[in-house]
Amino acid sequence: MPLFGPPNIAALEAKRDTQGLIKALSYKDAVIRIAAADALAPLRDPLAVEPLVALLRDDNPGVRRAAVSALSARGGFRVVEPLVASLADVDPDVRMTASTAVYRRLMTDPDQDARRATSVALGKIRDPNAVEPLIKAVMDADEGVRLAAIRALQSIGDIRAVMPLVVVQAHEQVRQRATGRSSLAVERAASSALDVLCGPASVDALESGIGHEDADVREIIVRRLSKIGVPEVARPLEAVLSDRDPVIRRSAARGLSDIGWQPTSSEKGAQYWAALREWRRCAECGPAAIPILVAAFDAADAPARTDIVAGLATLDWEPEAPDTLAAGIWAARGQWDKVVGAGEAAIGPLSLAVKEAPHWRDRAAAAKALAGLGQQPDAPFENVELTSQALALFESPAENEAAAADRKAALDAFAAEQGLLKPEDGESLELCECGYPISRVNSAGERSPLTALLGREIDGSTTHYFCPACDTIRPA
Ligand SMILES: [Zn+2]
């Protein structure tokens, strides 16, 4: 070997002479420096890192590029900072090589410390080209890498990161529910990043995920859209009013309410009120509400069922099968014969009507219908049978004075027959303003209520009585 000639790279490489190759890195001839860096690349010797890093400041772009390639081949935590710095090299070829090194090599480095450090470094330089590789890293197996990638995306502020971050946050929520273990830090970081990224400019990005199969994802999207609160969120939120998840439908409706949204069609209006479980308002939207109300009935609780039935009863809809819903509709419409015709299915709606029908006469009718089905209703009457009979007499038409007098006579006779009144002792009936008998007055002018003919509500130790014909409260 000539003593002062250039180093023989091929020979050094063949001997795997790292020391010799490292020494050749500082040889004056750039071609040799490049060849030495290329030869060192596959050897991945830790001692070569420092000298190769020093070459990143070499005057010759070819040398810098070779150094980037060699460091990239080595990978690992120590090469992260220098390679990320080379992304800003003045030479386009060096920059391109550094891009591949950082985004392809380091972001998938087997060493999680390298992946994490790369993510952190990319967050600092805020390079838009880093967005895609960082998005991949938000699902990294290592929590530290996920956190660093999320924070880097937050700092870069690119809208492309919105949906991946939503998915990450949802993923942690699902994991929490499924295993009881999740990374609260990752979830919080994703949420904070979304706080920064989700402005009016992110509406389209969020809308793109509105059909995502994961309900947690859809829910986060709806919350975010609602929070943005600009008019542009109306379209995606409207679309969610028919989501298969009731919680999401409700969030969407609230979001729409917050922006002062007005329904664009009666169907959307019906979906909106249904989402808020305002069933009567839903019915006010007209026939478009019918399928929504019918579909909601089975899963609804008792108070909601009452409202759904009341809403449907106001719409021109006739049930096809005599099921519970049908019985409820017929009860709400006072079609008691039809209700009883529904048999078993009528028991639930009738039991409800006995206690909650708005008019006392309907409560009495429901109680009678239940008795007709062999049930013993716990009706809010002292004597539902007598009350029903009195109501039947009272409701016979009395268009003129003569008929009214006949009706009064019939009620007197009925009360006497039932032992509620003793005309022979000078007792007489006192009538409600509506004409229904409510009290008995004796010869001394003392009155006592005809409780057997009244509706009653027991409130602790107090009992309130109601005229079942006009629903007014009568003093006991
Ligand atoms: Zn009355």
Q: Residue 45 sits in a domain of what CATH number? A: 1.25.10.10
Q: Which of 55, 76, 109 is the last residue of a domain?
A: 109
The count of domains in the chain is 2
- Which ranges of 232-359 would DSSP assign to H, the alpha helix? 234-240, 246-258, 266-275, 279-283, 289-297, 302-314, 324-332, 336-341, 347-356
| Residue 222 is assigned to a structural domain of this protein | no
Ligand 1 centre and the CA of 364: distance in Å? 15
- Name the strand (E) or helix (H) holding 441: strand 437-441
CA 258-260-261 angle, to 5 degrees, is 105
Ligand 1 centre and the CA of 371: distance in Å? 25
Ligand 1 centre and the CA of 454: distance in Å? 10
- What is the identity of the amino acid at 181? R
Tokens of 323: 């099921």
| Residue 374 is assigned to a structural domain of this protein | no
Across the chain, mean pLDDT equals: 92
What's 62's DSSP letter? H
Ligand 1 centre and the CA of 472: distance in Å? 6
Rounded to whole angstroms, what are the CA distances from 92 to 80, 87, 95, 99, 224?
19, 9, 5, 10, 40
Ligand 1 centre and the CA of 437: distance in Å? 8
| Residue 307 is assigned to a structural domain of this protein | no
Ligand 1 centre and the CA of 466: distance in Å? 8
* Strand, coil or helix: 350: helix
| Residue 389 is assigned to a structural domain of this protein | yes
Average pLDDT over residues 288-294: 94
Q: Which of 59, 89, 109 is the last residue of a domain?
A: 109
Helices 246-258 and 266-275: angle between axes, nearest 10 degrees:
110
Q: What is the pLDDT of residue 388?
A: 93
Sheet bearing 462-466, strands edge to edge: 455-459, 462-466, 473-474
Number of H helices, E strands in the chain: 26, 6
| Residue 23 is assigned to a structural domain of this protein | yes
Contacts 24+ apart (CB under 8 A), 314-322: 314/283, 315/283, 315/286, 315/287, 315/289, 315/290, 316/287, 317/287, 317/290, 322/346
Show the domain range for 418.
384-474
Distance CA 89, CA 8 (A): 30
pLDDT digits (tens, 9 = 90+) for 57-93: 999 999 999 999 999 999 999 999 999 999 999 999 9
| Residue 254 is assigned to a structural domain of this protein | no
Distance CA 287, CA 307 (A): 16
pLDDT digits (tens, 9 = 90+) for 195-249: 999 999 999 999 999 999 999 999 999 999 999 999 999 999 999 999 999 999 9
Distance CA 152, CA 192 (A): 12
Tokens of 196: 């920064």
| Residue 300 is assigned to a structural domain of this protein | no
Q: Is the pLDDT assigned to residue 4 strictly greater than 80?
A: no
pLDDT digits (tens, 9 = 90+) for 92-137: 999 999 999 999 999 999 999 999 999 999 999 998 899 999 999 9
Ligand 1 centre and the CA of 432: distance in Å? 5
Q: Which of 109, 144, 167 is the last residue of a domain?
A: 109
Q: What is the pLDDT of residue 3?
A: 57
Q: Is the pTM of this model over 0.75?
A: no
Q: What is the pLDDT of residue 264?
A: 83
Residue holding tokens 């020494």? 23
Tokens of 430: 């006192």
